[in-house]
Structure 1
Amino acid sequence: MQKMLNIISNVLRGSANRNGSRVVVASRTYADFTPQATFDIKKCDLHKLEEGPPLQAVLTREEGLQYYRTMQVMRRMELKADQLYKQKIIRGFCHLYDGQEACAVGIESGINRTDHLITAYRAHGYTLTRGGTVREIMAELTGRRGGIAKGKGGSMHMYAKHFYGGNGIVGAQVPLGAGVALACKYQGKNELCVCLYGDGAANQGQIFETYNMAALWKLPCIFICENNKYGMGTSVERAAASTDYYKRGDFIPGLRVDGMDILCVREATKFAAEHCRSGKGPILMELQTYRYHGHSMSDPGISYRTREEIQEVRSKSDPISLLKDRMISNNMASVEELKEIDVEVRKEIEDAAQFATTDPEPPLEDLCNHIFSNEPPMEVRGTNPWAKLKSIS
């Protein structure tokens, strides 16, 4: 009897084709899985709001697989960037996003692709969700011609359609985001701007000035503070008299959201987007999240926090593990299916890394190209004051 069970099990796992390679035969069909499920999610803390996002979220199997794959791509991409940086293939500044994947994927799933987004220098994840490819991002990190900014921007300056970076100056993207939101209102297209910054930037004066203008003009802007608990090497408790970042807008309504749960982030973003589109003006969200790496690659990340603290967050609150456990425990996916996705993702990352290390660097004659879009060429004085270069759009 046991022998017969083993034979059946081997048939279900796979069979060899004529060339000797393995052909996987799925033991479960799509019909075997739960097509969608409803999950209880954590209640958001509210500021100047009578009601907040729902306490339940519906997740379809298709959405779950998509979210899982995108978060895994982000995670593996950042781990590969860490490796290439330590090999000195990536140089300069490099701020990694692993641990915060639920923020980027959750926000993207709560807005439209025609909406706009601007962020600080921890930008690799948002470049991906806004339409950049892994190859383009990795090539930009290594300064190659095939990079998303032609190899001229590097880690902190990546752009895509409706995505305005990747900004290197702390907090400076916030007033720019309000300007994008003003353009949205002026053009009357029912679009909005998501404007992201970190807890380290949250104490900057220009942010409060922007709150004021956005509230006065009722701009369709979602201000989002990604509170990953540390601004560079300083904990939020040592840096801010009030760590209730969602209340910082004062007269602007606010939400504090579990930023490690993609469903919490998605539902809160949908709620915030509806608030903006209905003409009520800006809204502020604080996403409580965590970064596994240090502030940047020059920061080991363990001089101001313990390895045990990082490991505890990984074991209890990891955004990818949380989604994976939900899907498996509710029969929305199998362990084998998710492992297949993991294998595909690893291959995609390795292929992108291969491209990023072999693609040529931009030639010197490209130095002044791509300065403006749809503008006539202009003369640019080079490092030699007698040499004139021409930009080419």
Structure 2
Amino acid sequence: MELTRERLLWMYRTMILIRRYEERMAEAYAEGKSPRFDISAGPVPGEMHLAAGHEPVAVGVCAHLRSEDTVTASHRPHHVAIAKGVDLRRMTAEIFGKKTGLGQGKGGHMHLFDPTVKFSCSGIIGAGFPPAVGAALAAKMLGKDWVAVAFAGEGAANQGSFHEALNLAALWRLPVVFVIEDNSYAISVPKSKSTAVPTNADRAAAYGIPGAYIPDNDPVAVYEVAGLAVERARRGEGPSLIEVKTYRYFGHFQGDPEVYRPKGEVEELKKRDPIARMRVSLLSKGLLTEEEDASIHQEVEATLDDAYNFARQSPYPAPEEALQHVFV
């Protein structure tokens, strides 16, 4: 798929939307949780895993996808959900636990489901791999050129579900792409202490499928590699495995003391921020003007105002609804 100016600007705008969404969510989540951190307090109780810094992975892959393509994400799902086109109002309402949410306020931020764009995620590590393989099998049996993409962190690549899913997808030549987001830490454990190979892309050879490693958090590089994998899947040539070296600016979860991170690590990472780098590139190539850039930021803020206001103003589910729409 040609990387046109329109597509580049979509990627740039979507990365800004994701970043600002996560920054705003960090602020909303912090409400009522000080001076003593109380995970149950505030308008957004429970755990919160934010993906600021991961934006290139989401936009670089999802730029190739259609609404009928299936995506499964991890417990850190907002960036992928936004890039796939999940309804931002209903997603935010779900995170706030409101009745107008995607799951009527009963799933929370790790259990977002939007069947209109075939998006789902799970709080269980590695749980998205088998459903993606199932969706790819369904597409193949229906004779469709639909693709499934499973996003997960590098820690999930050490789960049995990852290897079982790759094996079956390769054996049946299913149209699925596995995308591993290497942000260096599985909670607090560095990759060097948990993974026996330098990159998870190396593991593709064991299943006889293509593997690609993207060492820089670059949306254009992700786009180019993902394009080959998605088109290969659509042609019926089977699965691919991609690992992207990315990073997260926030902790594993909000409230994480991050004592495992070297001092100054985040500040150093921000010096090569992917959004700032893309902005410079677009401006230097004449693909973006300062006026257009300002307009994009204004539009993003207006979109987020709408989504967050909708979530805050929406009603909570009634107590008697607690056992509705759930398995008991």
TM-score by length of 2: 0.90
- Of 298, 312, 318, the residue aligned with 2:268 is 312
1:338 maps onto 2:328 in alignment: no
Matches for 1:290-309 after TM superposition, within 5 Å:
290-301=247-258, 303-309=259-265
Unpaired segments ≥5 residues, structure 1: 1-56, 372-379, 382-393
Q: Is the 8 A contact 1:111 1:270 kept in 2?
A: no
Aligned to 1:62: 6
Q: Displacement of 1:130 after TM fit?
A: 2.4
Residues in 1 aligned to 2:133 and 2:320: alpha-carbon distance in whole angstroms = 36
Q: Displacement of 1:370 after TM fit?
A: 3.8
Residues in 2 aligned to 1:58 and 1:259: alpha-carbon distance in whole angstroms = 21
1:189 maps onto 2:189 in alignment: no
Aligned to 1:280: 237
Aligned to 2:132: 177
Question: Residue 275 of structure 1: SS of its match in structure 2?
Answer: helix
> By percentage of residues, which structure has more helix?
2
Q: Displacement of 1:208 after TM fit?
A: 1.1
Aligned to 2:99: 145
Alpha carbons of 1:135 and 1:300: their partners in 2 closer, same or farther (altered >3 Å)?
Answer: farther
Q: Displacement of 1:354 after TM fit?
A: 2.4
Residue 189 of structure 2 aligns with an amino acid whose one-letter code is T
Q: Deviation per CA, 1:291-343, whole angstroms, max 9, x where unpaired?
A: 11111113133x11135221122112x22112111111111112232122212
Aligned to 1:78: 22
Alpha carbons of 1:163 and 1:243: their partners in 2 closer, same or farther (altered >3 Å)?
Answer: farther
1:201 maps onto 2:156 in alignment: yes
Aligned to 1:362: 317
Residues in 2 aligned to 1:122 and 1:257: alpha-carbon distance in whole angstroms = 20
Alpha carbons of 1:77 and 1:242: their partners in 2 closer, same or farther (altered >3 Å)?
Answer: same
Q: Displacement of 1:134 after TM fit?
A: 2.6
TM-score by length of 1: 0.76
Deviates more, 1:143-152 or 1:340-349: 340-349
Question: Residue 157 of structure 2: SS of its match in structure 1?
Answer: coil
Residues in 2 aligned to 1:103 and 1:77: alpha-carbon distance in whole angstroms = 16
Residues in 1 aligned to 2:196 and 2:156: alpha-carbon distance in whole angstroms = 14
Unpaired segments ≥5 residues, structure 2: 32-41
Q: Displacement of 1:138 after TM fit?
A: 1.7
Q: Displacement of 1:82 after TM fit?
A: 0.6
Question: Residue 165 of structure 1: SS of its match in structure 2?
Answer: strand
Q: Displacement of 1:352 after TM fit?
A: 2.3
Aligned to 1:23: none
Aligned to 2:72: 118
Greater gyration radius: 1
Residue 297 of structure 1 aligns with an amino acid whose one-letter code is Q
Q: Displacement of 1:216 after TM fit?
A: 1.2
Question: Residue 280 of structure 2: SS of its match in structure 1?
Answer: helix
Q: Is the 8 A contact 1:276 1:282 kept in 2?
A: yes
Q: Displacement of 1:282 after TM fit?
A: 1.2
1:270 maps onto 2:270 in alignment: no
Alpha carbons of 1:65 and 1:279: their partners in 2 closer, same or farther (altered >3 Å)?
Answer: closer
Q: Is the 8 A contact 2:7 2:63 kept in 1?
A: no
User: Percent sequence identity over matched residues?
Assistant: 36
Q: Is the 8 A contact 1:119 1:165 kept in 2?
A: yes
